[in-house]
Amino acid sequence: MAVSTVLAGARVVLPTGIVENGRVIVENGRIAGAAHQDAATLDLSGHWLVPGFVDLHNHGGGGASFTSGTVDDVLTGVRTHRQHGTTTVVASFVTGEMDFLTQRAGLLSELAEQGDIAGIHFEGPFISPCRKGAHDETLLRDPEPAEVRKLIDAARGQARMVTLATELPGGLDSVRLLAEHGVIAAVGHTDATYEQTRDAIDAGATVATHLFNAMPALGHRAPGPIAALLEDERVTVELINDGTHLHPAALELAFHHAGAERVAFITDAMDAAGFGDGRYMLGPLEVEVKDSVARLVEGGSIAGSTLTLDRAFRRAVTVDRLPVESAVQALSANPAKLLGVYDRVGSLEPGKDADLVVLDADFELKGVMRKGEWVVDPQVG
């Protein structure tokens, strides 16, 4: 007979609301509906129990890069984020040579097939030189469908998202290609107008890559991509809630117009996440991290973040004053639905993987479970 674990006494956040003094039963790596007589009980009184976090956009952590690191390096980055509550992570690449990106896609597709990562996100090379951010301009190219197809094929069914400047030649045809293959087309690092962005959404784009960043600002005569992406119910907007990438008023604006059901908090993390200040490489570009803010050594552009999703959650509910249920939607349910894995993760419902995070009354992380195994042993004594 299988041994059950009962997590009892916490405030449990479910899709239907918050359950006071709730019980979550874990059995054989999944959330079960009933406990066996020999169930071990862990008292989580005074704590919160939320689903494991799902990160759509993450470049690495723990000193390791998903773009250029070895397989062991990639796993180091994955483990680092798991220790901060991210039980499902998509590995994102920055711009590189096409041959290099296809080789990396083949390598990381094996990790996706094993379940270590939830797939691959290509953030470049199909982006605008005008809005390149921390990408090497010499390696950028237009999003010709044949080139986009090379990356999809190299990922062997594990490509989950491609960020494009859809106003560039081939952009709309590439959006249609991605949609046909079940890959998320994300509008980002773009200099598109409002009208061009509307065309991209109509062609099948469904995500805004780190909204507000690496795109034209919202204007009263030229509203640009921000207005188009916020107003359309077909689009989920990524937000980097680290206090550097977004002013709180911008975050509030996004939630007001998109609603909690269309926001996905991401990290856009680079190697320094969970590791510390210092000098790093983001693709071929050198980055200096100082006071936890990553900037290119040359030019000073923000170069991803050092964010972890437990910090994004805590900031959302303590600084931004979002309801806990809205933060859970943005960190777990919404990205899981986008990735097509909501049947397995993203909420604490029977039959799903036992991926969950224990937080104390101040929303500090106190435990992480993935597939029924403690990644971070609960500190609740």
Interval 294-314: pLDDT, tens: 999 999 999 899 999 999 999
187: region left, alpha or beta (phi > 0 left; psi from -120 to 50 alpha): beta
CATH 3.20.20.140 correct for 53-339: yes
Say which of 55, 191, 268, 353 is annotated catalytic: 268
Confidence of residue 381 (pLDDT cuts 50, 70, 90): confident
Beta bridge partners of 281: 286
Cα distances (angstroms) measured from residue 210 to each of 162, 244, 297, 365? 13, 12, 22, 25
- Report whether pLDDT(271) > 60: yes
Is residue 83 packed enough to be buried (19+ CB in 10 Å), middle (13-18) or exposed (0-12)?
middle
Ranked by mean pLDDT, the top range of 24-28, 69-73, 88-92 is 88-92
- Render pLDDT for 241-258 as a digit per residue (tens, 0 to 9): 999 999 999 999 999 999
* Mean pLDDT on 84-94: 98
CATH 2.30.40.10 correct for 5-50+347-376: yes
Start-end of CATH 2.30.40.10 domains in the chain: 5-50+347-376
Structure tokens at 248: 């709180």
* Mean pLDDT on 59-69: 95
Residue type, 193: T
Cβ count near 308 (within 10 Å): 24
pLDDT computed for residue 1 by the predictor: 45
- Report whether pLDDT(2) > 90: no
Whether 268 sits among the annotated catalytic residues: the reply is yes
Output the DSSP codes for 238-283: EEE-SSSS--HHHHHHHHHHH-GGGEEEE--B-TTTTT-SEEEEET
Start-end of CATH 3.20.20.140 domains in the chain: 53-339
Q: Please give the mean pLDDT across all residues of the chain.
A: 95
- Alpha-carbon distance of 118 to 238, in angstroms, equals 17
